Amino acid sequence: MKKTSIYEYKSYKQFILDWIEKTPNLGRGQRKLIAEAIGCQNPFITHVLSGDYHFSAEQAEACARYMGLNDVDSEFFILLVLKERSGTKTLENLFGKQISQRCEQHSVLKKRLNIKETMNLEDQMIYYSSWHFAAIHMALMIPEFQNVGSLSRYFNLPPSRILSVLSFLVENHLAEQKGNQYKIKKSVLHLEKDSPILTQHHSHWRLRAIEAIQTSKPDNLHYSGIMSLSRDDYEWVREKLALLLEEVVDRLGPSKDEKLATLCFDFFQV
């Protein structure tokens, strides 16, 4: 079943409806199963999803458990329920602020992608000083690029530069050397949103993207577009892109190492 992120939603009812639709057989029989899971009659589910009825907090927790949500996502689901059940505008706004805070926390990619590896600031300054370090680092995952000569030819860089970068990677336990071969040890690094180096890192790869655009290779994908949209849809698009990145990372884990590619996401207010 295609992954659905609850953080895309402002309404728990719409989340349930979309979740049902993505289950096998277009959700046939799911309303009955949800009713059994939360201990109510089937017509009540219809009244909730199509009318003004709402789940209780207890029913919301049972529903989230039935849908397979983890603890963090279940808490968010329950917050959506409590917000819609609110009897006063003040209480609704209170839950709304909590929901916004959870969405902001969820949008931090390091947490979402479960990235734990990091370096001290001094080593980060070196690693992110040039695109060479990250590119050569990732290239070591591909068997044909695990020696100085092949890396030099592929990146069109002098062997001395390749050796300099490889030495840094080995010293920082990001790669290991066995004879003339170099292999990766740690593949995932991440800069915090407030890192002073982050702008430099993004700039390196946007410049490389511009160079790639000029080559006009048919298997490259480039898109630039200006759009006008609502505030809610802005958040929806941002969440969709973050969710896609999660799916990409999950898929690439067991992926065979054959090509070296760069992914740049740019979605921002103008």
Domain range summary for the chain, segments of one domain joined by +: 6-106, 116-270
Structure tokens at 141: 């995952």
Q: What count of other Cβ atoms lies within 10 Å of the Cβ of residue 14?
A: 13
Maximum alpha-carbon separation in the chain: 73
In contact, 270 and 226? CB cutoff 8 Å: yes
pTM greater than 0.85 (yes/no):
no
C-alpha to C-alpha distance for 177 and 171, rounded to whole angstroms: 10
- pLDDT band per the 50, 70, 90 thresholds, residue 2: low
Pick 192 or 176 by higher pLDDT. Answer: 176
**Structure confidence at residue 1 (pLDDT):** 47
Amino acid sitting at position 33 = L
Structure tokens at 54: 């709402």
Distant-in-sequence, close-in-space partners of 248: CB < 8 Å, separation ≥ 6? 263
- Residue in the structure block whose two tokens are 């407030």: 194
**Structure confidence at residue 106 (pLDDT):** 76
DSSP 145: G
In contact, 96 and 228? CB cutoff 8 Å: no
- pLDDT band per the 50, 70, 90 thresholds, residue 3: low
Tell me which CATH code domain 6-106 carries. Answer: 1.10.260
C-alpha to C-alpha distance for 216 and 214, rounded to whole angstroms: 5
C-alpha to C-alpha distance for 165 and 152, rounded to whole angstroms: 11
Could you give the percent of the chain with pLDDT greater than 70?
92
**Structure confidence at residue 137 (pLDDT):** 94
DSSP 8: G
Mean confidence (pLDDT) of the chain: 88
Q: pLDDT for 39-72, tens place per residue?
A: 999 999 999 999 889 999 999 999 999 999 999 8
Amino acid sitting at position 166 = L
Q: pLDDT for 133-186, tens place per residue?
A: 999 999 999 999 999 999 999 999 999 999 999 999 999 989 999 999 999 988
**Structure confidence at residue 115 (pLDDT):** 53
Pick 49 or 236 by higher pLDDT. Answer: 49
**Structure confidence at residue 74 (pLDDT):** 95
Pick 264 or 136 by higher pLDDT. Answer: 136
Residue 228 scores a pLDDT above 60: yes
**Structure confidence at residue 108 (pLDDT):** 64
Q: Which of 131, 100, 123, 114 is nearest to 209 (CA)?
A: 131
Q: What count of other Cβ atoms lies within 10 Å of the Cβ of residue 174?
A: 21
C-alpha to C-alpha distance for 169 and 127, rounded to whole angstroms: 9
Helical segments of the chain, H only:
12-21, 30-38, 42-50, 57-66, 71-85, 89-106, 109-112, 121-127, 131-139, 148-155, 159-171, 198-215, 231-252
C-alpha to C-alpha distance for 146 and 143, rounded to whole angstroms: 6
Residue 113 scores a pLDDT above 60: no
Residue 109 scores a pLDDT above 60: no
**Structure confidence at residue 270 (pLDDT):** 76
- Looking at residues 103-131, what average pLDDT do you find? 73
**Structure confidence at residue 101 (pLDDT):** 87
Distant-in-sequence, close-in-space partners of 205: CB < 8 Å, separation ≥ 6? 131, 262, 264
Q: What count of other Cβ atoms lies within 10 Å of the Cβ of residue 55?
A: 27
